[in-house]
């Protein structure tokens, strides 16, 4: 049994938590530029390392909040608990994140491109009002900004 240090509730027994699998998997969003095989990497393939692993966990019987954990799959030692959407701070955990095969996949790069694309049209209307219509056409979901 693990004792997991919930960032909100404090140390609790493992049975109160649910493991959500590998962390830091970026969804390629509506990016159609990648192949089915490359999309399958995102959807189906999960890492199964012997050593440090970054995982998502949820305190399902407590505060019901998600968070990330850096856990050693050999010793079960939890070296860091950190919030969703953030990167770990510990050097070893950060290195694990950078070294993951997933960082080089087409799905991950497509997600990065989509995120950049989503940011651009939102800024354009403010800088160039004349081109507002064109920008809105490109990303209809982002319309409605004042």
Partner 1 sequence: MADIMTGDAMLPGRSALAGRAGMNVAAPDGGKTGLRVQEVAHIGKINIRGTKSIAKVIWNHTGCDFPPANNMVSSAGARHIVWLGPDEALLLCEAGMERDLRRKISADLAGQHFAATNVTDALCVLKVEGPDVRAVLAKGCALDLHPGKFGPGQCAQTVLAHAGVTIIATDENCFLLICRTSFAPYTLDWLQDAALEFGFVFQG
**Binding letters toward partner 1, positions 30-69, x by CB under 8 A:** -------------------------------xxxxx----
Identify the helix (H) or strand (E) that includes residue 39.
helix 36-44
Contact (CB, 8 A) for 101 and 45: no
The 10 Å Cβ neighbour count of residue 65 is: 15
CA neighbor of 57 nearest in space, from 66, 48, 49? 66
Quote the least distance from Cβ 62 to partner 1, whole Å: 5
Q: How many residues bind partner 1 (CB under 8 A)?
A: 12
Helix 36-44 vs helix 106-127: angle between axes, to the nearest 10 degrees? 100
Quote the least distance from Cβ 3 to partner 1, whole Å: 9
Q: First-to-last CA distance in the chain?
A: 53
Q: Based on CB atoms, which residue is closest to partner 1, 14 or 77? A: 14
According to the binding rule CB under 8 A, does residue 122 interact with partner 1?
A: no
With contacts defined by CB under 8 A, name the span among 10-18, 21-29, 71-79, 130-138 that binds partner 1.
Answer: 10-18
- At residue 132, φ and ψ (nearest 5 deg) are -55, -45
Quote the least distance from Cβ 17 to partner 1, whole Å: 11
52-58/66-72 β-pairing: antiparallel
**Touching partner 1, residues 12-31 (CB under 8 A):** 12-13, 15-16
Quote the least distance from Cβ 15 to partner 1, whole Å: 7
Residue ranges in contact with partner 1 by CB under 8 A: 8-10, 12-13, 15-16, 61-65
């Amino acid at each position: 049994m693990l004792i997991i240090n919930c960032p909100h509730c404090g140390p609790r027994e493992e049975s109160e938590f649910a493991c959500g699998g590998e962390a830091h998997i970026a969804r390629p969003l509506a990016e159609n530029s990648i192949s089915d095989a490359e999309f399958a990497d995102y959807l189906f393939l999960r890492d199964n390392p012997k050593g440090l692993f970054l995982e998502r966990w949820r305190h399902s019987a407590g505060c019901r909040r998600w968070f990330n954990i850096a856990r050693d799959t050999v010793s079960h030692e939890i070296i860091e608990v950190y919030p969703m959407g953030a990167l770990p701070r510990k050097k070893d955990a950060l290195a694990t994140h950078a070294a993951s095969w997933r960082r080089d996949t087409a799905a991950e790069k497509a997600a990065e491109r989509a995120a950049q694309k989503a940011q651009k049209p939102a800024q354009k209307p403010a800088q160039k009002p004349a081109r507002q219509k064109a920008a809105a056409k490109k990303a209809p979901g982002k319309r409605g900004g004042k």
